[in-house]
Structure 1
Amino acid sequence: MQTVATTSTRRLTSENPEPPQQRQQPQTAREVIAANIKSLIEQLEAGHSDALTAYLTAMSRFHNYSFGNILEIARQKPDATQVAGFWKWKEVGRSVKKGEKGIRIIAPIVGVRRKKDTEADKDVTKQNTAVLVGFRSAHVFDVSQTEGAELPELREMSGDVGENRDRLLSFIEQQGIELVFTEKIAPALGMSYGGRIAILPGQSKAEEFATLVHEVAHEMLHKAERRTATTKTVRETEAEAIAFVIAKAIGLDTGTASADYIQLYHGNASLLAESLEVVQQTSAVILAALKPPTAEQAAMPDAELAQVA
């Protein structure tokens, strides 16, 4: 069973014994939080990871669709997650599977309006102007309709969450937050609505735990008056920093997952440093909720234990 306290994991050998008085003592929650925040700041200061760089390069090749076309894609293929045209998939090393039916969208037709020679002579930088001529039907395909080279993915968290998942779920319930699991939020992994959290089912236990902590952090920090004083970048940086701190504290392999996520929202080490106080305080509250009950608390009747809590 995992706990929120961490100790030194370096093994002792007969060739390199460590005197008893020099053995590292279990860290306090405050020390764990400080060490994990420092680790995340160092990752952010190091810049983009190789995984994030590859992901951003791949994503830059994909077109951003209009709201109308997004609705059309969702209507025709509700489970679509990443769409592109036939030749765009070729550019990233994938091919549309034989027999797949395209998703119809509306594409603009852009023409060129040439200026008169007399006007062009006055301003050589504006000789021709792109103009919208009309629209045409086009077809795109979801990644599930293609095959070939794997698209770069961001690093995910891994490891065993143990009983910490159940304790986190209890904490969420105690906060009066409704929790639902639904496919409707795809491709988002989690959403926070103020008193309600939605989680995408099918995630690994480690990734689901980190997503839950991220959304709980939003509920605790960004669903009240404080939201008006923050930006999207600040909110995502704070929530993911807390998810990193908690995930690392219970022993999950976090890698660069949180740093990559923060940098996707244009967060950085300086921004995180400005939010240290709220990140530390919120992390402490969640860590306390994950702490295993003492033997005395475990022996108490539920009603009496509720009064103590």
Structure 2
Amino acid sequence: MSIYDVFSSGSKPFDKAEWAAQKQAQRQEAYELIDNTCSEMMADGESFRQYLDVQGRFDRYSVANAVLVSAQMPEATQLKDYNAWKQSRVYVNKDAQKIVILEPSKEYTRDDGTKAVGYNAKVVYDISETSAKDRQQAQEPKTMRELVSAMIDASPVPFVPVADLEIPAYYDSKQQTIFIKTGLTEEQLFVSMAKEVSAAVFDFKHNESRDASDFKSFCVAYMVSTRYGVDTRGFSFDRLPREFSEMDTQVFKGELGSMRDVLGEIQSDMFKSLEKNKPPKNKEQER
């Protein structure tokens, strides 16, 4: 007698074909939601800002998955699948809202001989839909001095403060220098630095001029600022630039991808800097 006999009573046979069809339908719905949401983002500045908020929090997520999260639960802060939550001894609520994202699957060969990676639909849940909703960890606050220092470390070029600059900051690609106006408030300083550091990274890593990357640098600065709780009231996305609002959807997603790449580089370098310069904990704090 097999131990699996204990599962046989009243069991329903597993239909592999039906399961595959369901996963295919779920995956197709996700692709359609991505395209529809991108079209909405190009026409509606608030929808675009909502995506930036999500991508800023989930900077390691692909553009496709950040778009999916912004369309399904833009307020999400921590996502895991059912088993991952369970392994953490956290239980998903019975009527929890599902969020479908895409995860890489097997590599395959297209008809033209090129290689590609397939994707499967995956259901995840936000921490707010679990038994741990009241145990969400608040982000450790950083001082503006710490953030400005980390932004300096994340920059591929040096900074030079000047008194007579007409704008808050300016990346000069010829001199490979970011000029910063003196007399700014701490938050004005950080936001201005974030935008020009983004422009410098676009120039160095993506061969895009400061003018060509201006709006994208603005978006990256917004995402970095929201990530660290810096005041973003000075940012406006009421209307996207014409060249973005009239883009083909695939081209638009490509531009979002370059923003996400630059964001990831800056966030990674800032994180390393903040960790390196963390003040040592005393024995009382370690208890």
TM over 0.5: no
Bin for the TM-score computed over the shorter chain: 0.3 to 0.5
| Larger-gyration structure (1/2) | 1
Taking structure 1 as the reference length, the TM-score comes to 0.38
